[in-house]
Amino acid sequence: MPSARFHEIAALVRNWGRWGPSDQLGTLNLIDAQARLRGVESVVTGETFSLGLALGKAEGIQPGFIEGRVDPDRTMISINGPLSPDPEWICSSEDVVTMALQAATHWDGLAHVSYNGQLYNGYPASSITSLGASSLGIEQVTSLLSRGVLLDVPRALGLDRLEPGYAITGSDLDLACQMAEVSILPGDIVLVRTGQQGFLTLDPEKPYNAPLPTKDLIAYTFPSAGLTIETALWFHARDVAAVATDTLVGEVFPGEREEDYLPVHLLHLVEMGMTQGQNFVLDRLATACGEDGRYTFLLDASPLPFTGGVGSPLNPIALR
C-alpha cells in the first residue's frame, strides 16, 4: 500500500473534475494561445534541436522489465518492387516496424497506469481492453505545442550530471529556475535534465541494428536520478502542462520509500492528469542553453495519434 505521505500529496494535487467530468486531456488543457505565443516569443536564432532518440534497436532502450515491450524492429517488405509494366520505370521500397509505443523517446499517456482500479478523472481501469484504451487514449492529444523550459538541475548544482539515484527536490527545481532566470507559467512544458544519458555509449560506427550493451542499459536504468513525489506539489502549484526527463523511469529509481512503487507516475498520470515523458535527449540543448543563457523555446512534442494508445513515441523539436 502507498505511504501516508503519498496519499497526502495525492489529495493536494488531484485534478479530477477540474475541467469537467468527461475531460480526457488533464493538464494539457492549460496550453492555450497565450502559452503557445510565449513559446513563439522565445525564438531568437531559429536553431532547432531534435530531442528524440533514433527509432532503432540501438536506441529503443528497453531493458526487458515488461514482457513484450520491444525495441523498434524495422524490416523491409518490398525492395525495389516494380509499380509499372516496365520494371525499369518506377519501383517502390516499403518497410514495416514493430515496437513498443513506450520505446525510445516517448510520452506516457493518461491511460498508461492506474491504481485502485482507476485512471485519471475517475475513468475505470477496466476501460482498457485488448482493443486499447476506450478513454484517455493518446489520440485525444491532437497537438502538444507550447513554451518549453529546460531545467538543467546538474548545471544549477555545478555538476556535469547528477549521481545515480539522486532524488530531485522542489528546491533543486527552484535553483534551476534561478540559474535560468525564468519563472514557470501555466501551460509550460518542463524538461528536467539529470545527465543520466551520459551512461549510454551510442556509437555511430556500430551496426545500425545492434542493441545497446547490457552494461549500458543497467547503468542508465538502475539506479537513476529523478523526480520525487514532493515535486508533484511543485508542478501542480505552477500549473505545468507536461513534464519530461532524460531518463528511462522519469522518477528517482529505486524510489524513496519501499512501499511506494513508481509513485510519481501515479501522481502525474492518475491524480494530476499530467502527461509524462521519458528518454528525451537533452544534452545538446542544455549546452546551447548554457552558452547563451536562454532556457526557453518553442517546443513541438506532439504524439502520434494511435487510436486507443496508452503512449506514443515522438521526435520532439525545440526551436530557439
Q: Which residues pair with 95 in a beta bridge?
A: 76
User: Which residues have a Cβ under 8 Å from the Cβ of 14 and sit 6 or more positions away?
Assistant: 271, 272
H-type helices in 83-200, by residue range? 153-156, 170-180
Question: Considering the entire predicted model, what is its pTM?
Answer: 0.94
Q: Are 303 and 141 in contact (CB under 8 A)?
A: yes
Summarize pLDDT for 293-311 with one digit per residue, the tens: 999 999 999 999 999 999 9
Summarize pLDDT for 163-185 with one digit per residue, the tens: 999 999 999 999 999 999 999 99
Rounded to the nearest integer, the mean pLDDT of the chain is 93
CA 304 to CA 312: how far, in whole Å?
Answer: 6
Determine the average pLDDT of the residues in 189-208. 77
Summarize pLDDT for 115-128 with one digit per residue, the tens: 999 999 999 999 99
| Per-residue cell: 102 | 513506450
CATH of domain 4-64+101-319: 3.50.30.50
CA 174 to CA 7: how far, in whole Å?
Answer: 24
In the sheet with 48-50, reading across from the earlier edge strand, the strands are 48-50, 317-319, 296-300, 145-152, 189-193, 242-245, 275-278, 106-108, 311-313
What is the three-state SS of 175-210? HHHHHHCCCCCCCCEEEEECCHHHHCCCCCCCCCCC
- Which residue, chain included where needed, has cell 538543467? 152
